[in-house]
C-alpha cells in the first residue's frame, strides 16, 4: 500500500518536465505542502513581515465578518423567512461552522496566504486550485463592493441625524436605482486602500479599534431594542415555510463571509500553526452569538412585514423604539465605522490571495511584487482597490450579495473536500488542529454548502456560470502555461511527493 506522507519530498528527475505538465497531468499537478510553506512570505522584490499575533488575527476575522450582513442584509432577509430568520442565521452559521472546522485544520497544517486556493493546490491539483482561487476573487473582491454599498446607507443615516442633510440619490445610488454613481461606496474603498498601503500591522491596529466599536454598537442595539420587544411578533414563526428559511439562509450566509480572512494572513502571522486555527474558531463563535441575538431582538421589536424595503434597519428600529433619533444616529455612527472595517479586512484578504496566485504564476507577476519599505504588495493593493471601488460605485447591493455568496459557498465546499483528501494522502502530517469525527464534519460542511447554493435563484447561477467560464478561459490561455509547475526546468525541477512502502 502506498503512503504519500511517509517520505519527504524528493526531486522527481525521472520524468521530463514537458511530459509532467502536458495533457491531463497538467490539470491535476499538485504543489507539495512543503513547497507552499517554504515559500511563505516570499514575493517579487521583498517579503511579507510576520507581525500579527492571535489577537490581531481574531480581530481580522471578526472585522471581515461582522458588518453589512447584520446591519444591512437583515432587512432583506426577514421578509423571506419571517420571524424564522433567526433559524436562517443558525443554518447559515452551521454551514460556516463545519467549513470553519475544515479551515482551522488546513490553516494549522498549511499556514500560507492563499487560503483555500493553496489548500486545493496541495490536495486536488492546479485546475481545482484555480477554480477555488477564482471563486475567492468573487468572494473577496465582489463582497468588498457589496459592503461598500451598504456603508453608504448608514452614512446617509448618520448625516441626516447630525447635520440634517443626506447625499442625494444621484450620488449615492447605482445606475438603475435612481443614481449615476455610488460615491460613498467609492470613497470607503479608497480609504481602506490608504490604510492597507501603510502596512499589515498598522492596518491591524486600525481594524481592532473598529471591531471594538462595532461590538459596542450591536450591544447598544440589543439593550435598547429589547425594551420594545413584543412576543406577539413571533406568533406566526414560519409564515413562508422552510423554503423561505432556506432562501433567507442562503442570502444570510453573506453575513458569515470573512471568517476565513485570518487564513489569508498565514504568511504575516507570528505563530500561524498555533494561532490561525484558534483565531478562526473564536471569531466565528463571537460573530454567531451576536448575529442570533441581534436578529432575535430585531424581530421582537418589529413585525416581520415591516422590514420590507427598509434601509439602515437597525437604526430605524432604535428610532422607533425610543421615539428619538439620537440613539439611531449613535448606531449609524457605529455602523459607519464597523462596516468600514469589513471593507478594510476583506480587501486585505483579496490582495493576499492574488499574491499567492501570482507567486505560483497563475496570475501576472505584478500582483506578487512586495514593497521593501512597507512589506506589503502595494501595486496589487492599488489595482484591487480600484477594481472594487468601480464595482461599488455602479452595481446594486442585492446583485453583489448573492454573487458573493455562491462563490464563497463553492470555495468552502472545496475546502471541506480538501481536508478529507489531505488526511488520506498525508496522514502523518503534523496537525495543530484536527476536525473531530473523521470525515463526518467535512462531509456535512460540503452538503450544507451545496444546500445553500441550490437555494439561490437562477439569475445568480447564470452569473456564477459566466464568471467561472471567464475564469477557465483565462486559466487555459494564461495560467496553465505560465504556472511555475509548468515552467520548471531541468535546473529547477518540480518537487514531487514521493510514495514509499508503508
Q: Say which range, 5-14, 282-291, 301-310, 448-457, has the weakest mean pLDDT.
A: 5-14
In tens, the pLDDT along 83-116 reads 888 888 888 888 888 888 888 888 888 877 777 8
pLDDT of residue 306: 82
Q: How does pLDDT run across 288-329, given as a tens digit for each residue?
A: 888 889 888 988 888 888 877 666 678 888 888 888 888 888
DSSP sequence for 147-215: HHHHHHHHHHHHHHHHTS----HHHHS-TTTT-S-BHHHHHHHHHHHHHHHT-HHHHHHHHHHHHHHHH
Confidence at residue 180, expressed as pLDDT on a 0 to 100 scale: 80
| 17-21, 176-180, 317-321, 496-500: range with highest mean pLDDT | 317-321
Confidence check: pLDDT of 416 > 60: yes
Binned at pLDDT 50, 70 and 90, residue 46 comes out as: low
Q: What residues contact residue 425 under an 8 Å CB cut-off, 6+ apart?
A: 4, 5, 123, 497
Mean pLDDT of the 55-75 span? 78
For helices 272-301 and 200-225, angle between their N-to-C axes, nearest 10 degrees:
30
For residue 57, the model assigns a pLDDT of 85
Predicted model pTM: 0.76
Say what the pLDDT of residue 493 is: 43
Judged against a pLDDT cut of 50, whether residue 5 lies above it is answered with: no
Q: Which stretch of DSSP H or E encloses residue 42?
A: strand 42-43
- pLDDT of amino acid 68: 65
What are the tens digits of pLDDT across the range 462-495? 888 888 899 899 999 888 888 888 776 333 444 4
SS3 state of residue 500 = strand
Residue pLDDT, tens place only, 208-244: 888 888 888 888 889 988 888 888 888 888 888 888 8
Please check the confidence at residue 499 and state whether its pLDDT lies above 60: no
First to last CA, the chain: 6
In terms of pLDDT, which residue wins out, 349 or 487?
349
Amino acid at each position: 500500500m502506498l503512503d504519500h506522507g511517509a517520505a519527504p519530498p524528493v526531486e522527481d528527475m525521472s520524468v521530463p518536465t514537458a511530459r509532467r505538465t502536458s495533457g491531463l497531468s497538467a490539470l491535476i499537478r499538485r504543489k507539495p505542502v512543503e513547497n507552499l510553506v517554504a515559500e511563505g512570505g516570499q514575493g517579487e522584490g521583498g517579503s511579507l513581515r510576520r507581525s500579527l499575533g492571535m489577537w490581531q488575527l481574531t480581530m481580522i476575522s471578526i472585522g471581515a465578518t461582522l458588518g453589512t450582513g447584520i446591519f444591512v442584509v437583515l432587512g432583506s432577509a426577514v421578509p423571506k423567512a419571517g420571524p424564522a430568520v433567526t433559524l436562517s442565521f443558525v443554518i447559515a452559521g452551521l454551514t460556516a461552522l463545519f467549513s470553519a472546522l475544515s479551515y482551522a485544520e488546513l490553516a494549522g497544517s498549511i499556514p500560507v496566504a492563499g487560503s483555500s486556493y493553496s489548500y486545493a493546490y496541495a490536495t486536488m491539483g492546479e485546475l481545482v486550485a484555480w477554480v477555488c482561487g477564482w471563486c475567492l476573487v468573487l468572494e473577496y473582491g465582489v463582497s468588498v463592493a457589496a459592503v461598500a454599498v451598504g456603508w453608504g446607507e448608514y452614512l446617509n443615516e448618520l448625516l441626516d441625524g447630525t447635520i440634517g442633510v443626506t447625499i442625494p440619490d444621484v450620488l449615492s445610488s447605482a445606475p438603475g436605482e435612481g443614481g449615476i454613481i455610488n460615491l460613498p461606496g467609492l470613497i470607503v474603498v479608497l480609504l481602506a486602500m490608504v490604510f492597507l498601503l501603510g502596512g499589515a500591522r498598522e492596518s491591524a491596529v486600525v481594524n481592532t479599534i473598529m471591531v471594538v466599536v462595532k461590538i459596542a454598537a450591536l450591544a447598544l442595539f440589543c439593550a435598547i431594542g429589547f425594551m420594545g420587544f413584543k412576543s406577539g411578533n413571533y406568533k406566526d414563526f414560519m409564515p413562508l415555510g422552510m423554503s423561505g428559511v432556506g432562501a433567507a439562509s442562503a442570502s444570510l450566509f453573506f453575513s458569515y463571509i470573512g471568517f476565513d480572512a485570518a487564513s489569508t494572513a498565514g504568511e504575516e502571522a507570528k505563530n500561524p500553526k498555533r494561532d490561525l486555527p484558534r483565531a478562526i474558531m473564536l471569531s466565528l463563535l463571537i460573530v454567531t452569538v451576536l448575529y442570533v441575538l441581534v436578529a432575535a431582538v430585531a424581530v421582537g421589536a418589529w413585525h416581520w412585514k415591516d422590514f420590507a424595503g427598509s434601509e439602515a434597519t437597525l437604526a430605524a428600529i432604535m428610532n422607533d423604539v425610543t421615539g428619538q433619533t439620537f440613539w439611531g444616529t449613535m448606531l449609524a455612527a457605529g455602523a459607519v465605522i464597523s462596516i468600514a472595517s469589513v471593507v478594510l479586512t476583506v480587501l486585505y484578504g483579496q490582495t493576499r490571495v492574488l499574491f499567492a496566485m501570482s507567486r505560483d504564476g497563475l496570475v501576472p507577476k505584478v500582483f506578487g511584487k512586495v514593497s521593501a519599505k512597507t512589506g506589503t504588495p502595494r501595486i496589487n493593493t492599488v489595482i484591487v482597490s480600484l477594481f472594487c471601488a468601480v464595482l461599488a460605485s455602479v452595481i446594486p447591493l442585492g446583485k453583489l450579495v448573492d454573487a458573493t455568496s455562491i462563490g464563497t459557498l463553492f470555495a468552502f465546499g472545496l475546502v471541506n473536500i480538501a481536508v478529507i483528501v489531505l488526511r488520506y494522502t498525508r496522514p502523518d502530517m503534523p496537525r495543530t488542529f484536527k476536525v473531530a469525527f473523521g470525515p463526518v464534519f467535512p462531509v456535512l460542511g460540503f452538503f450544507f454548502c451545496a444546500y445553500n447554493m441550490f437555494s439561490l435563484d437562477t439569475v445568480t447561477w447564470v452569473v456564477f456560470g459566466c464568471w467561472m467560464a471567464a475564469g477557465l478561459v483565462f486559466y487555459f490561455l494564461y495560467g496553465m502555461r505560465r504556472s511555475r509547475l509548468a515552467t520548471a526546468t531541468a535546473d529547477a525541477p518540480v518537487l514531487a511527493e514521493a510514495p514509499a512502502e508503508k
